Amino acid sequence: MRILVVEDDEILRDAVEAGLALAGFTVDAVETVADARAATADWSYDAVVLDLALPDGSGLDLLQAWRGAGSLTPVLLLTARNATPDRIAGLDGGADDYLGKPFDLDELAARVRAIARRGHGRASPLLRLGDMTLDPANRELLKDGLSITLSRREFTVLQALMEQPGRLLSRAQLEERLYGWQEEVESNAVEVHIHNLRTKLGREVIETVRGEGYRVPRQ
């Protein structure tokens, strides 16, 4: 899942970026309202982690602008202002969740997974497809009740496909899920991951639509 983190404090931003990457997210991090606007204009995110007090404006105003423009991207507010009225203002302003500083990284990751899941229209934390069950929180894949070991990137590709069975994802869209801005995109990486997944799970698990992309068949 690709996440945008908007936080002005450099040290905290680095920590959130590193922590969410460890939890299996692909993370882009920006510092200002202006950068956040630019990032969301160019990319689509599964969720946004938004700090309220930003140097060039309020995160709440930014959120309201997004909601006003019809954006449905789930947003988790991250803020030092943690009193009940602040939470209410945040949630009424269009946020999906609220987390006060300081926070636990695992909790942040869990909450981001939860809002992203709901953003995709699912309530269950587990993704199921045929005899496969994918657990994003524990980064675990079960097939016929047996655990199958996947690399981080393989897992990310499979998760992206299983989130919306039947929907076609292009190679570019999958790369977008795999790599943050700072990371260098390896050519053919997507093809390599798809190949490995088919080897581990069976050919029929992922369909190739020639020249278009990949999908997992709807059951």
Partner 1 sequence: MRSIRLRLFVLLLSATVLVWSAAAGWIYVSTRNDVQRVLDNRLVEAAGMVASLARGSAEALKKSSVTRPLPVPAHYGRQLSCQIWTLDGRLVGRSGSAPDAPLSAGQSGFSERTIEGEQWRVYTLVEPEVGLRVLVGDNLKVRRNLIGDVMTGLLLPALVGIGALAALLWSAVGRGLSPLRRVANELSRRDPAETSSLAVEKPSQELQPLVASINGLFERLEHLRANERHFIASAAHELQTPLAGLKAHAQVARSTDDSAVRDKSLRSIEASVDRTSRLVEQLLDLAREEAAATNAPKWTAIERVVHAIEDELRHFLRRRGVRLTLDENALTAEVLADEAGLTLALRNLIRNAAEHAPENTEVRVAIESGGSMRAISIIDEGPGVLPEDLPRIRDRFVRGSRPKSPGSGLGLSIVELVAARFDAVLHLGNQPDGGFKTSLLMSSKAVRKRP
189: which residues sit within 8 A by CB, 6+ positions away? 153, 175, 178
Q: How far is the CB of 11 from partner 1 (least distance, A)?
A: 4
Where does this chain touch partner 1 (CB under 8 A) — which range of 14-22, 110-118, 131-139, 189-197?
Answer: 14-22
| Size, binding site for partner 1 by CB under 8 A | 25
Alpha-carbon distances, residue 56 vs 7, 32, 39, 79 (angstroms): 12, 6, 16, 16
126: which residues sit within 8 A by CB, 6+ positions away? 133, 134, 135
67: which residues sit within 8 A by CB, 6+ positions away? 93, 94
Q: How far is the CB of 137 from partner 1 (least distance, A)?
A: 14
Regarding 28 and contact with partner 1 (CB under 8 A), the answer is no
Residue choice 105, 129, 137, 142 for contact with partner 1 (CB under 8 A): 105
Where does this chain touch partner 1 (CB under 8 A) — which range of 12-20, 114-122, 165-173, 187-195?
Answer: 12-20
Nearer to partner 1, 11 or 72 (CB): 11
Give exposure, 24-58, as e/b (b: 16+ Cβ within 10 Å).
bbbbbbbbebebbbebbeeeebbbbbbbbebeeee
For 62, the 3-state DSSP assignment is helix
Binding mask 47-76 for partner 1 (x = CB under 8 A): ------x-xx--------------------
Regarding 12 and contact with partner 1 (CB under 8 A), the answer is yes
Q: How far apart are CA 86 and CA 101, in angstroms?
A: 13
Q: How far is the CB of 122 from partner 1 (least distance, A)?
A: 27
Q: How far apart are CA 82 and CA 101, in angstroms?
A: 8
Residue choice 68, 70, 85, 102 for contact with partner 1 (CB under 8 A): 102
Residue choice 38, 43, 92, 104 for contact with partner 1 (CB under 8 A): 104
Q: How far is the CB of 93 from partner 1 (least distance, A)?
A: 18
Residue choice 4, 27, 29, 31 for contact with partner 1 (CB under 8 A): 31
Amino acid residing at 213: G
Can you give the binding site for partner 1, defined by CB under 8 A?
9-12, 14-16, 18-19, 22, 31-32, 53, 55-56, 80-82, 100-106
